[in-house]
Homo-oligomer: A and B are copies of this chain.
Amino acid sequence: MKAEKISELTIDRLSVYLRCLDFLINNGVKQISSQELASQFNLNSAQIRKDLAQFGEFGVRGVGYSVGKLRDCLRHILGLDRPHKIGIIGAGNLGMAIAEYEGFFGTNYNVVALFDIDPAKVNRTTKRGIPILDVKRLAEEIQRLGINIIVLGVPASVAQSVLDQVVAVGIKAILNFAPMQFYVPEGVTLKTVDLTVSFDSLSHSLVVNELEVEIK
Kindly specify which of A10-18, A31-39, A59-67, A161-169 makes contact with the partner chain.
A10-18
Given the interface pairs A97-B94, A212-B3, the reply to whether A175 lies near B198 with Cβ below 8 Å is: yes
Kindly specify which of A101-109, A117-125, A131-139 makes contact with the partner chain.
A101-109
Copies in the complex: 2
**C-beta contact mask, A165-189 vs B, less than 8 Å → 1, else 0?**
0000000111101110100000001
Kindly state whether residue A19 has any CB partner on chain B within 8 Å.
Answer: yes
**In the complex the two chains form, is A173's CB within 8 Å of B203's CB?**
yes
**In the complex the two chains form, is A77's CB within 8 Å of B201's CB?**
no
Chain B nearest CB from A41 CB (Å) reads 8
Chain B nearest CB from A117 CB (Å) reads 17
Kindly state whether residue A49 has any CB partner on chain B within 8 Å.
Answer: no
Tell me the complex Cα distance, A102–B189, Å.
22
Most B-side CB within 10 Å, residue of A16, A92, A148, A203: A203
Of the residues B23, B80, B201, B211, contact of A200 by C-beta under 8 Å:
B80
By size class, the interface of chain A is 35 or more
**C-beta contact mask, A18-60 vs B, less than 8 Å → 1, else 0?**
1100010000000000000000000000000000000000000
Tell me the complex Cα distance, A98–B193, Å.
12
Besides A149-B202, A189-B201, A191-B198, 6 other CB < 8 A contacts?
A11-B201, A23-B181, A102-B156, A103-B194, A173-B202, A175-B195
A-B contacts, 23 of them at CB < 8 A, read A2-B215, A6-B204, A6-B208, A8-B201, A12-B197, A15-B194, A77-B207, A78-B204, A78-B207, A79-B203, A79-B206, A80-B200, A86-B199, A93-B94, A93-B96, A93-B100, A101-B195, A103-B179, A103-B194, A172-B206, A175-B199, A175-B202, A191-B202
